[in-house]
Amino acid sequence: MHLFLVGAGPVGLVTAVGFARLGHRVTVADIDAARIAILADGRAPIFEPGLDEAIRAESAAGRLTFTTERVPPAGSAYSIVCVGTPTGPEGPLSTGQVEAAVRLLLEAAPPEHVVVVRSTLPVEGPDRLARLVEERRALGPCATVVTNPEFMREGAGLRDFDVPSRVVTGWLHPDDREVARAVADLYAPLNAPTLVADARSVALIKLASNVFLAGKIAFANELARVCDAVGADVDLVATGVGMDDRIGRAFLTAGPGIGGSCLPEQALALPQLSARLGVPTPLIDAVSRSNVSHQQAVVTRLASLLGRPITGARIALLGLAFKAGTDDVRESPALALARELRERGASVVGYDPQAMETACRADPWLETAPDAVEAARDAHAVLVATEWGAFREIAWPAVRRVMAGDLVYDTRNVVDATAVRAAGLRVEMLGRRV
């Protein structure tokens, strides 16, 4: 089957490769000509493990092509919209880009065509799409619109497409139930649990899932601070708690806070929706506030460990991406820590194996170094903020020789504490005894 996919970002590219590997022919469109040129050259414009190789393989097989054309090719049965819903003037999850893409597809596609919106929508998003369909149908028959949110993680996107936790599709009108089922059937070879429902419920499934995960992380982060206070080990506590099948261990790993394009934004979007509806949601409201207070607490803890005033201190920040396995710095807790440190009078120099360029674009005031040792030069402390495996192999004797201080504060439980101590450095970990 021929699929047309709009939006060559992380979700769009992983989705395109995933469907191509299922045997479909996929044409990927994006308005960014430079991005399309990179893709046509067999390279990914973002870092996602395995994506470069997959793009080259599927392109060579003739199943994956790229274009700047914005209308579906003749013979294509489905158009899949994967454009962004960034925070806009009206708040999180702005649907402007989605509506523009859907409007154009409704104008260009034949009536038997199906437009699949994979972009994350606010709960009122389906109503906006339904209005677009109604406006177009007033002029004559038009394509059907179905929603199909993704549940993929950056850094593990290809695996999550191939082994999905679930496939969920939503209809805008009850008459379109069978079309929504047909969209779910595109994923049939993956043998995933499947749910077909109304699009409002589907939008809330996506939002609620991410806010729940953000809440688990926030709980683990607060628990880590309690462990610091009482001398317990947050890894052991979380493992013991997660042994209860009703709770589970996933997303109970403490760190410097939630980040990325989904969890922080949606942790704001759902409370804002509740407030507009006049529905009290104190638990949901607290998730985003907990994240901010936790990042402030991490800096306060670092300051207490320094052994000198934080004003004028130089801090080496290892890790800038919001998590390992990506170059994405959107809502990165590392960059939030950098801002908080600067506000308290410290200077910050950062290093990341993949996210240096994106971090500098997001934070023009951030000083960077070419490697971990150079980041630590003249630093009073090293703060580990992203769980890159490479940080397990840092040459700590070289770090010790260039540092002005001796503190390594690891918020990700990634460094080799024995190696750090052997180099003559102090090591502290968030919520853990070392």
- 158 — phi, psi (to 5°)? -65, -40
CA distance 434 to 432: 6
Conformational region of residue 346, where left means phi above 0, alpha means psi within -120 to 50, and beta covers everything else: beta
| E strand or H helix that includes residue 222 | helix 199-230
> CA dist 219 to 17, 229, 280, 289, 297, Å?
35, 16, 20, 12, 14
Nearest to 10 by CA among 169, 114, 119: 119
Give catalytic residue positions.
Answer: 262
**Do the beta carbons of residue 252 and residue 238 sit within 8 Å?**
yes
The residue with tokens 């052994």 is: 307
Residue 422: what are its φ and ψ, rounded to 5°? -60, -25
One-character DSSP codes across 85-149:
---BTTBSS--HHHHHHHHHHHHHS-TT-EEEE-S---TTHHHHHHHHHHHHHTTS---EEEE--
Give me the phi and psi of 405, to 5 degrees please. -115, -165
Q: How many CB atoms lie within 10 A of CB 344?
A: 16
* H/E run at residue 3: strand 2-6
For residue 96, which phi and psi values (nearest 5 degrees)?
A: -55, -45
User: What backbone phi and psi angles, to 5 degrees, belong to 159?
Assistant: -65, -40
Q: Given strand 426-429, what is the order of strands in its sheet?
A: 367-368, 347-351, 314-318, 381-384, 407-410, 426-429
* Look-up of token digits 């060559």: 8
DSSP letter string over 161-172? HHS-S-EEEEES
Query: Token digits for 94?
Result: 């702005």
